[in-house]
Amino acid sequence: MDAENLYYFEKAPVAKAVAHFAVPMMLGTSMSVIYSILNAYFLGTLHSTAMLTALALTLPLFAIIMALGNLIGMGSGTFISRLLGEKKYGEVKHVSSFAFYSSLVLGLIVIAVGLPLIDPIVHSLGATPDSFEFTKDYVTIMLIGSPFVILFFTLENIVRSEGAAITSMIGMILSVAVNILLDALVIFVFHWGVTGVASATVISNVAASAFFAFHIGYKSQFLTVSAKWFKTNKDILANVFKIGVPVFIMSIFLGAMSLILNHFLVEYGDQAVAAFGISSRLLQFPEFILMGLCEGVVPLIAFSFTADKTRMKHTIGFTIKAIVTLACVFGVIVYLISDHLIGLFTNEPQLIEMGSYILHVTFLSLFVSGMTTLFTGIFQATAQGTAAFIMSIIQGITLIPILFIANHMHGFHGVIWSLVIADTVAFIVGGIMLYILRNKLQPELDSLVQ
């Protein structure tokens, strides 16, 4: 770890340290959302509801592939930050090499399992006859490129874990920039449609992964991608998977929730699925900003947990204030211009009306979901595996029965409102667990949860 990163971990004022770690992550994640929005916008110019539907239906698959990256990346990243706080620098090389090669192996397993089951996978995603072929094309490309998508998420996490927040941001922005450029080419020049969009996503992840690997190989003091440092033992596996598995399960639940939502929404027509897909991408912008804030401070919390618990308390307190401020600002903006935002993607009045309604409802839980993400990050950073696991499943366990009940009682409106209810339950459970664990984490946390 260089002197600059060590300064932000140990000595910088808390606000400055949080900004150093969180702002690059917030910018990087916001760029990812801008890409996602432009993705839908480019396809929207083709005036094909079936293509937009296919793009929405494949979100669960991407969530699963991302989950595999976070399984290794988040687990390894938080472990690396704790090791740095304990000044166990030699172990960091073993963990980072393990993360690199494990990600590639997971990607190869996805290809081997997924490609022979391509048709069942597409059917399970809820593809309609009109959108089936588009969905299949996208899924095929994503499965083939999964080793690089998984590697991207892994490397971004471990680079950020050593304090290289700017490098992490550059890698994410590089991925988005390449993706947007290729999207424009494949749609407007080569006319490849959904296949081109999926290919652009994979290629952009290859470019960003190469950038991260170069940084680790030539500029990082402690991280490595060298095979000679590859090592697996009980300590590495336990620490990586103790946090990685809950993160993976949470991502799987998010993918499953998206899949289940799509199946419920299909009952109300392709327009309902397309409207949810558009509004979800718009909601991702503030959600990913808050997620970038909360995930950005995880290395700082993890380092402080082993080095300076009082600093950890102040970091969490400042982050809560930032979440409140950002949620209020985004909420006001969306409620003022939601129709115009949806209108950027379609000129169909029914799609605009449905999408605007979904935005209004789901934005109600923006602060709640931000706090839930922070709770989860605290549990990950402090190696509270059980609490992290509970957070990973509570929203999904809550959402599924609520969906069935709300859909039966209130139809389309019930399906949309079920998201807010599930977010609220997860927030309450997270707050209770933080209160219970406050003494185990540190006595000073009392002031945050009372």
Instruction: Report if residue 450 sits inside a domain.
Output: no
Instruction: Tell me how far apart the terminal alpha carbons of the chain are, to the nearest angstrom.
Output: 36
Q: What is the pLDDT of residue 189?
A: 86
- List C-alpha distances in Å: 203 to 61, 77, 84, 119: 17, 24, 33, 24
In a domain, 187, yes or no: yes
Cβ neighbors of 282 (< 8 A, separation 6 or more) are 37, 334, 341, 342, 355, 359
Count of structural domains, the chain = 1
- pLDDT at position 110 is 95
Q: Which stretches of 86-192 are DSSP H helices?
A: 89-114, 118-124, 132-144, 146-161, 165-184
In this structure, are residues 245 and 389 in contact, taking their beta carbons and an 8 Å threshold?
yes
Average pLDDT over residues 203-214: 95
The secondary structure of 244-282, three-state, reads: HHHHHHHHHHHHHHHHHHHHHHHCCCHHHHHHHHHHHHH
Q: What is the mean pLDDT of the chain?
A: 84
Q: Quote the CA–CA distance of 105 and 161 in Å, as a whole number.
A: 22
> Domain for residue 77, yes or no?
yes
Do residues 140 and 134 make contact, with C-beta atoms less than 8 angstroms apart? no
**Band (348; pLDDT cuts 50, 70, 90):** confident
Lowest mean pLDDT, pick from 25-34, 137-146, 318-327: 25-34
In a domain, 200, yes or no: yes
Contact 79, 239 (CB under 8 A): yes
pLDDT-derived band at 340 (thresholds 50, 70, 90) equals: confident
In this prediction, residues 31-37 reach a mean pLDDT of 70
- Does 97 score more than 90 pLDDT? yes
* pLDDT (0 to 100) of residue 142: 92
Specify if 307 maps to a domain.
yes
CA distance 352 to 348: 6
Q: What are phi and psi of 288, to 5 degrees?
A: -75, -30
| Res 4: pLDDT | 67
pTM given for the model: 0.74
Residue 159, pLDDT above cutoff 90: yes
Cα–Cα distance between 311 and 162 in angstroms, integer?
18
Question: What is the model's pLDDT at position 255?
Answer: 63
Spatial CA neighbour of 381 closest among 315, 448, 450 = 315
pLDDT tens digit sequence for 429-438? 999 998 888 7
- Position 130: which residue type? D
CA distance 352 to 95: 48
Orientation angle between helical segments 146-161 and 298-307, nearest 10 degrees: 40
In the numeric block, the tokens 């809550």 are attached to 398
Cα–Cα distance between 97 and 220 in angstroms, integer? 13
Secondary element (H or E) of residue 427: helix 385-436
- Spatial distance between the Cα atoms of 38 and 183, rounded to a whole number of angstroms: 9
Structural domain includes residue 110? yes
Residue closest to 51 by CA, chosen among 133, 140, 146, 145: 133
Structure tokens at 445: 């946390």
Report, as an integer, the average pLDDT of 308-330.
Answer: 90
Query: 44 and 52 in contact (C-beta within 8 Å)?
Result: yes
C-alpha Rg value of the chain to the nearest Å: 21
Q: Which of 33, 154, 170 is nearest to 102 (CA)?
A: 154
CA gap 33, 442 in Å, rounded: 35
Indicate the pLDDT class of residue 152, thresholds 50, 70 and 90: very high
Q: What percent of the chain has pLDDT over 90?
A: 24
Residue 127, domain extent: 3-442
pLDDT at 43 over 80: no
Q: What is the pLDDT of residue 148?
A: 95
pLDDT attached to residue 449: 46
Provide the pLDDT for residue 440.
67
Measure the CA–CA gap between 387 and 395, rounded to whole angstroms. 13
CA proximity to 158, closest of 204, 215, 226: 215
Residue 207 lies inside a defined structural domain of this protein:
yes
Name the band, by pLDDT with cuts 50, 70 and 90, for residue 443: very low
Averaged pLDDT, 84-104: 90
Q: How confident is the model at residue 283 (pLDDT cuts 50, 70, 90)?
A: confident
Domain contains 117: yes
CB neighbour list of residue 76: distance below 8 Å, 6 or more residues apart:
95, 96, 98, 99, 154, 157, 158, 161, 240, 244
- The mean-pLDDT minimum among 103-112, 186-195, 219-228 falls in 186-195
pLDDT attached to residue 32: 67
Return the number of other C-beta atoms located less than 10 Å from residue 192's C-beta.
15
Q: Where residue 2 falls among pLDDT bands split at 50, 70, 90?
A: low
Region 169-177: mean pLDDT is: 89
HSE, CB side, 13 Å, CA atoms: give it for residue 238: 4
Q: Residue 448: what pLDDT?
A: 44
- The letter for the amino acid at 392 is S
The angle that helices 234-266 and 59-85 make with each other, rounded to 10 degrees, is 150
CA distance 52 to 40: 7
Mean pLDDT of 344-373: 82
Least Cα distance to 141 among 194, 184, 99 occurs for 194
66-to-151, 247, 252, 297 alpha-carbon distances in Å: 9, 10, 9, 20
* Residue 28 CA, distance from chain mean position: 11
